[in-house]
Amino acid sequence: MNFAKKVVWGFLGAVAMAAFLTACGGSSTAPSGSGSGGTGSGGGTGSGGTSTTTITITSAGVSPKAIAVVQGTQVTFTNNDSQNHDMFSNPHPEHTDCPEINSVGFITPGQTKQTGNLNTVRTCGYHDHNLPTVTSLQGTITITAK
């Protein structure tokens, strides 16, 4: 259990560093591990998060934790974990802030699912419905104007 905590804290530290570097104009490379077209059509603007349309779920959590996309974009969730996940919009348990995220829902290991079209300019939080307090499985999608 102690090892698992170290892995989670190490991951969170890496995510914080990546967010810091992105905010400060650091590396512009896409996150590794998505394996399939990290920046699809309608990619993000870079404000408020990483410029990608793919969120990868692993045993360490979601990556990247914050992304930015333009209106009309669909975001892809890929489950590279060995466990099932149930990804929904905030708040828990109502899931009413960004209903387009709710189309991801239950996602099995190896499965890829997409949100609906994210048309409203706003910031949407999401989480794993079955693990709503696990911060490594929480993130945000910022939708910006075209």
Closest Cα partner for 48 from 125, 143, 112? 143
Higher pLDDT, residue 119 or 17: 119
Tens of pLDDT, residues 87-144: 999 999 999 999 999 999 999 999 999 999 999 999 999 999 999 999 999 999 999 9
Residue whose C-alpha is closest to residue 127's, from 31, 55, 23: 55
Domain segments of the chain as ranges? 2-144
Smallest CA-to-CA distance from 34 within 10, 9, 12, 51 is with: 51
pLDDT at 50: 73
Residue 40 pLDDT > 90: no
Q: Is the pTM of this model over 0.85?
A: no
Average pLDDT, the chain: 78
Q: Does the structure show a pLDDT above 70 at 64?
A: yes
Number of Cα atoms under 13 Å in the Cβ half of residue 46: 10
Domain at 2-144: CATH code: 2.60.40.420
Percent over 70 (pLDDT), the chain: 67
**Alpha-helical segments (H) within the chain:** 2-23
